[in-house]
A = this chain, B = another copy of it.
């Protein structure tokens, strides 16, 4: 039967697509590791690496045991009534409201009838894998802002909280079929549903991923306080430069590479399946349009942002600083994550140039406020993410919104004569900033109150690598080489 073969083609092709785009997102972990370790001081390098290693290790367990259960129900890809097409319908138990899901912890009820020829459910498992990598990104953002001084055990607790609860709840609101922020809310049953709920546009998560991580970095950096010596007696910032610019830039490029999985991959596939109940058969559509647009914008917007940042740092600070430029194009990547599939590329170019100002002067503001953020994660992810979500409310092109989210003539940006979309974007921003600050802030405050959040001043000044992590990141050779020489003679 052509219908079943067609449905299988869509399942197989999209599965391959999700496997590989999510793998690229996972590669961003190598990028975060390098940009983080490169940007801290040498004496704390090993410690920073340890925190980044905790992200996938602690978070992998947390998202498996709890996170996914709070985030999603199994996806129902197609509404299929034919018995012969039934296998494709997936296992659909809806146990969620607009705020949170609460059914499938530890993949419960999703792995049992997994067979190759029967109830496949491959797409749901791939959504797990794809979403995990996004959740991981949100957690990894925070490490940099509290680097060089956070204790490891409370950091583990933070990762468990972020990946086991905070990010999942936010991702549910935006991307679950029942989520209250979902722009496609009840899309299947209501053709005018683009305004069904709050209806925010956030294609790959400038808000869901990056405001979440960035707001966590913001409250974390404030609560833990600045590194000793970062501000002098007059509150003036003293430079604590990145100890390895090569690794920082490497990290930036690995992030950019991974982002070509992050953004285009958020379409979740390049093929679509349309079921015709009158003939009990199906046909296949291509969804390559949003994927292609996302890829191009993920290139052009960060390029414009990075270049503008370099010119800004040259003009304002007098030097061509590649580490700041790297932060600039990473900020561009953060910005483009929301609007990548709904704005034309000339708009992306403008959004990117503005993004450079958001990052560059945003970071100066953070420093002026006396907040010490070694990675500049607040300016890059929190401010960049906010600008990214906002930009959808201004620049989204109606026919692109229709291409990506379905209902024609549903919505668009202020510059195309629409207004409500901007309100939806602001709603998302406020919700994420508020929810994350509340939960993550409470956790860090509790840890601080218990006196376990931060290493002692002695440990900090000697460097946490030696005092906590077992030694220098770059130890000298040849301890004992003299005796060896003697023994050899």
Contact A53 B304 (CB under 8 A): no
Which B residues are in CB contact (< 8 Å) with A169? Answer: none
Cβ contacts A to B, 6 pairs, < 8 Å = A53-B322, A107-B296, A228-B488, A246-B247, A318-B470, A321-B470
Closest to A42 in B: B477
A326 at the interface (CB under 8 A from B): yes
A15, A132, A269, A475, most chain B CB atoms within 10 A: A15
B111 near A345: Cβ-Cβ < 8 Å: yes
In whole angstroms, what is the CA distance A321 to B472 when docked?
10
Which of B54, B152, B256 meets A56, CB within 8 Å?
B256
CB of A439 within 8 Å of the partner chain: no
Provide the bound-state CA to CA distance between A263 and B470, in Å.
33
For chain A, what secondary structure do more than half of its interface residues adopt (helix, strand, loop), or is it mixed?
Answer: helix
Interface centre among A41, A256, A322, A402 (most CB of B within 10 A): A322
A434 at the interface (CB under 8 A from B): no
Number of interface residues of A (CB under 8 A): 152
Best-surrounded residue of A26, A115, A156, A295 (most CB of chain B within 10 A): A295
In this assembly, does A188 line the interface, its C-beta being within 8 Å of a C-beta of chain B?
Answer: no
Asked whether A480 and B33 contact (CB < 8 A) given A57-B329, A300-B61, A469-B319, the answer is no
Complex CA distance for A26 and B474, rounded to whole angstroms: 28
B58 touching A296 by the CB < 8 A rule?
Answer: no
**Quick check: is A404 within 8 A (CB to CB) of the other chain?**
yes
A114 contacts the other chain (CB 8 A): yes
Q: How far is the CA of A30 from the CA of B152 in the complex (A)?
A: 29
Q: Determine whether the beta carbon of B116 is less than 8 Å from that of A241.
A: no
Contact with B along A313-330 (1 / 0, CB 8 A): 110011111100110010
- Inter-subunit contact A296/B488 (CB<8 Å): no
Q: Which residue of B has the minimal Cβ distance to A229?
A: B484
Given contacts A111-B293, A477-B42, contact A116 B403 (CB under 8 A): yes
Provide the bound-state CA to CA distance between A463 and B270, in Å.
49
Residue in contact with A288 in the complex, picked from B123, B244, B317, B345, CB distance below 8 Å: B123
Q: Does A335 sit at the interface, judged by CB under 8 A?
A: no
Interface residues of A in 232-285 (CB under 8 A from B): 238-247, 249-250, 252-254, 256-257, 260-261, 264, 269-271, 283-285
**At the interface, yes or no: A6 with Cβ under 8 Å from chain B?**
yes
Contact A249 B33 (CB under 8 A): yes
Q: Is there contact, CB below 8 Å, between B229 and A296? A: no
Which of B54, B117, B271, B306 is within 8 Å of A9, CB to CB?
B271
By a CB distance below 8 angstroms, the chain B residues around A287 are 12, 116
Q: Tell me if A193 is interfacial: C-beta within 8 Å of chain B.
A: no
Q: How many Å from the CB of A91 to the closest CB on chain B?
A: 13
